[in-house]
Amino acid sequence: MIVFSTTFHTKIPIGKVVVRGQEGMNRVQFFDAPPSKEEEAYSNHMDDLDHALDQAAHDPSVAVCVTDASLLLHGNFQAVLAAQIHVGGALVYAVHCPIGRVLAPDAEQAAIWLALCKTTTLPRCKSILVFTDSLASARHAVDPSVQSGQFLSLAVAHSLRPWLEASADQVVRFYQVPSKEEWQCHKEAHDFASDLKVSVGTHVLTSLNYLHAQGTKKCLDCWTTLFGVLSFRGNQFLELTNRLDKPMKLKYTGGGAWLSHLQGLPGFTTRCCCAILGHTPIGSFNAQFFPHQPTGCPCGAILKTRPHILGYCNCFTNHLKLPISMTDFIDFMKVNPRVFAFNTAPSGIG
């Protein structure tokens, strides 16, 4: 296996690698697409894309690079990059090729690397416009700091620096193209990438990001399997459902499946965790761990259990019915601010 992630430590400050003596990367510019819900700004951005492409078609000193990548989710295929270069409205260079086992951002970065390195060799080219659906990959492509695929960024810097230093008027502009719009030439580049399918085979390039993702997936699969074992999860773990009425699944991003809903409030989070885990001062808990403590409920029930509290106890409101959704559970906890709370909790808890 060849790891597509060779990294090189450089003491040259980021932003100084491309243009020696310049302040920052003021001639490498990025134009992000605003969120589609910002309708006016989003529409203006799409108009800007059309305008930039139209102007470039009438100026032979402007090279237009269109990049994309294809990553099949099923089957044993390599990711494919595609790069097309237009000058004066005519296609002058096009390539699609396999790039190995990489993530989509890696393949997009490789496509940008190939396009920029080729474009800087074109004669009379004064301006480079790059249309891509991943400005994150574009920023990585011109960032020589230590990262997966750093050698691509260094190769881009090696090509761009002399090109930019040749004239103070030369500039590189990256435009984000929303994939869902299937915009003009970017749709062509996407189809061009999708046309090629190459099996993984042996000795294939593999990115460090891909290896990290695979390691994370295996850990998550193991974690999910263990979570399905009652003795691992715990007998008292409260099963909740998501917005689709499906059992909540483990995840490690965005604050996790449960904690991400709790708004980061210490007292509220503590009560919710106690309720979900069943480690809370109620009758059933006391019967198991503190048999000399009261086990009955003030409402008259012989045993104060979690199902009783959530669904029946007249000491509380907004009772829940099975299956219990995470949203309804949180609403119940908010409406009943003392439910599942320790009466003698330390300051800030419960």
CATH number for the domain spanning 65: value is 3.30.420.10
Residue bearing the bigger pLDDT, 4 or 147 = 147
Give me the mean pLDDT over the 276-284 stretch.
91
Q: At 91, is the secondary structure helix, strand, or coil?
A: strand
329 and 267 assigned to the same domain: yes
Which range is least confidently modeled, 22-26, 166-170, 248-252, 338-342? 22-26
Phi, psi of 66 (to 5 degrees): -120, 125
Indicate whether 220 belongs to any domain: no
173 and 31 assigned to the same domain: yes
The pLDDT of residue 25: 54
Question: What is the C-alpha separation between 304 and 302, in angstroms, rounded?
Answer: 7
Indicate whether 171 belongs to any domain: yes
Q: At 302, is the secondary structure helix, strand, or coil?
A: coil
Let me know the angle formed at the C-alpha of 309 by 305 and 311, rounded to the nearest 5 degrees: 115
Which pLDDT tens digit goes with each residue over 320-347? 988 899 999 999 999 999 999 887 544 4
The pLDDT of residue 203: 86
Indicate whether 270 belongs to any domain: yes
160 and 295 assigned to the same domain: no
142-166 CB burial, b ≥16 within 10 A, e <16: bbbeeebbbebbbbbbebbbebbee
239 and 197 assigned to the same domain: no
- Beta strand 171-176 pairing with 28-31: parallel
pLDDT band at 235 (very low <50, low <70, confident <90, very high): confident
The pLDDT of residue 110: 96
Give me the mean pLDDT over the 303-316 stretch.
93
Place of tokens 């589609």: 36
**Residue 231 pLDDT > 50, yes or no?**
yes
Question: What is the C-alpha separation between 176 and 183, in angstroms, rounded?
Answer: 11
Give me the mean pLDDT over the 135-157 stretch.
93
173 and 242 assigned to the same domain: no
pLDDT band at 9 (very low <50, low <70, confident <90, very high): very low
Q: Which of 149, 175, 210 is the last residue in one of the domains? A: 210
Percent of the chain topping pLDDT 90? 69
Q: At 260, is the secondary structure helix, strand, or coil?
A: helix
Q: At 113, is the secondary structure helix, strand, or coil?
A: helix
**Residue 5 pLDDT > 60, yes or no?**
no
| 186 and 192 Cβ atoms separated by less than 8 Å | no
| 138 and 84 Cβ atoms separated by less than 8 Å | no
pLDDT band at 13 (very low <50, low <70, confident <90, very high): very low
The pLDDT of residue 265: 84
Indicate whether 282 belongs to any domain: yes
109-118 CB burial, b ≥16 within 10 A, e <16: bbbbbbbbbb
Q: At 81, is the secondary structure helix, strand, or coil?
A: strand
The pLDDT of residue 24: 38
Percent of the chain topping pLDDT 70? 91
Indicate whether 221 belongs to any domain: no
Question: What is the C-alpha separation between 142 and 18, in angstroms, rounded?
Answer: 8
162 and 309 assigned to the same domain: no
289 and 348 assigned to the same domain: yes
Indicate whether 223 belongs to any domain: no
Give which of 207, 212, 202 is closest to 99, Cα–Cα: 207
Indicate whether 120 belongs to any domain: yes
347 and 235 assigned to the same domain: yes
105 and 201 assigned to the same domain: yes
198 and 290 assigned to the same domain: no
Which pLDDT tens digit goes with each residue over 15-36? 444 444 443 357 999 999 999 9
How far is CA 28 from each of CA 168, 170, 174, 264, 343, rounded to the nearest angstrom?
12, 9, 8, 39, 60
Total of domains in the chain:
2
Beta strands in the chain (DSSP E): 2-3, 28-31, 62-70, 79-87, 90-100, 127-132, 171-176, 205-206
How far is CA 88 from each of CA 92, 103, 350, rounded to the nearest angstrom?
9, 33, 68
The pLDDT of residue 346: 42
pLDDT band at 177 (very low <50, low <70, confident <90, very high): very high
36 and 179 assigned to the same domain: yes
> In the chain, how long is the greatest CA-to-CA distance?
89
Count of CB atoms within 10 A of residue 58's CB? 9
Please give the residue range of the domain that contains residue 42. Answer: 2-210
Which range is least confidently modeled, 10-19, 238-247, 269-278? 10-19
Whole-number average pLDDT of the chain: 88
Give which of 116, 113, 119 is closest to 87, Cα–Cα: 119
Place of tokens 């500039």: 171
Give me the mean pLDDT over the 284-310 stretch.
91
191 and 290 assigned to the same domain: no
Indicate whether 296 belongs to any domain: yes
Which pLDDT tens digit goes with each residue over 183-229? 989 999 999 999 999 999 888 989 999 999 999 999 999 999 999 89
Q: Give the residues across from 20 on adjacent strands.
A: none
Q: Which of 148, 180, 210 is the last residue in one of the domains? A: 210
**Residue 175 pLDDT > 60, yes or no?**
yes
Which pLDDT tens digit goes with each residue over 67-102? 999 999 888 999 999 999 999 999 999 999 999 999
